Amino acid sequence: MKEKAHILSENDIDRIIKRISHEILEKNKGAENLVFIGLQKRGVPLAKRIAENIEKFEGTKVKTGKLDITFYRDDIGHNIKPTAQITDISFDIEGNNVILVDDVLYTGRTVRAALDALIDFGRPKSIQLVVLIDRGHRELPIRADYVGKNLPTSQNESVEVKLKETDGIDSVVVVEKE
């Protein structure tokens, strides 16, 4: 793996999170009935950060949860078996606007699995998708509602997102696969 380009720094990520938090509030006309669900594993801290911003801006508490999509993957049996991480949605999503958060949007298969998983928890009023990076190459008809940065990539590159909560630093880099 060779680092090709440094895309986002800590400050960049911070500004993006703030901007997206405002966009979510603008589109939903406030924080009422909003719940945040981060996809394991780097969507989880991103969802928390957005939720904290929104609490600061609006002065109201918002709910956050975590979702692991391992059991809903479409490549079970094709691939190595990942150990499932914790799913923790300790509130009712029925009738709420769910803001689903992930770090990178690529083929769209993770989001497809996440939608199936979420529907098993109830019938939300809407599901909106936040991604820090959209790198293209979709294999399913899926798009994000809020995008941190559009990043055209080739398929032999990969995007590495690092976050303080999981990796000790905030950064996004593009690396070349060998």
Partner 1 sequence: MLRRKSITDTESLSLEDIELILSNADSFLEVSRRDVKKVPTLRGKTIVNLFFEPSTRTRTSFEIAAKRLSADLINFSSSGSSIKKGESIIDTLKTMLSMKVDLVVIRHSDSGVIKLIDRFINVPVINAGDGKHQHPTQALLDLYTIRKKFGKFEGLKVAIIGDFINSRVARSNVNLFEKMGMEVTIVSPTMLLPEDFSKMNVRHRIDDVIEESDIIYILRMQFERQNRRFYPSIMEYNRFLSLDSRRLRKMKPGSIIMHPGPVNRGIEITDEVMDATGNFGGKIIINEQVTYGVAVRMALLYLILG
Region near partner 1 per CB under 8 A, out of 18-26, 115-123, 148-156, 169-177: 115-123
| HSE toward the beta carbon, residue 61, CA cutoff 13 A | 1
- Contact between residue 54 and residue 34 where contact means Cβ atoms under 8 Å apart: yes
**Out of 87, 107, 128, 158, the residue judged to bind partner 1 by CB under 8 A:** 87
C-beta of 80 vs 156, nearer to partner 1: 80
- Contact between residue 64 and residue 35 where contact means Cβ atoms under 8 Å apart: yes
C-beta of 31 vs 117, nearer to partner 1: 117
Q: Tell me if 88 contacts partner 1 by CB under 8 A.
A: yes
Number of other residues whose CB lies within 10 A of the CB of residue 130: 26
Output the smallest distance, CB 71 to partner 1, in A: 4
CA-to-CA distance for 161 and 42, rounded, in angstroms?
8
Give residues in contact with partner 1 (CB under 8 A).
Answer: 68, 70-73, 76-77, 80-81, 83-88, 116-117, 120-122
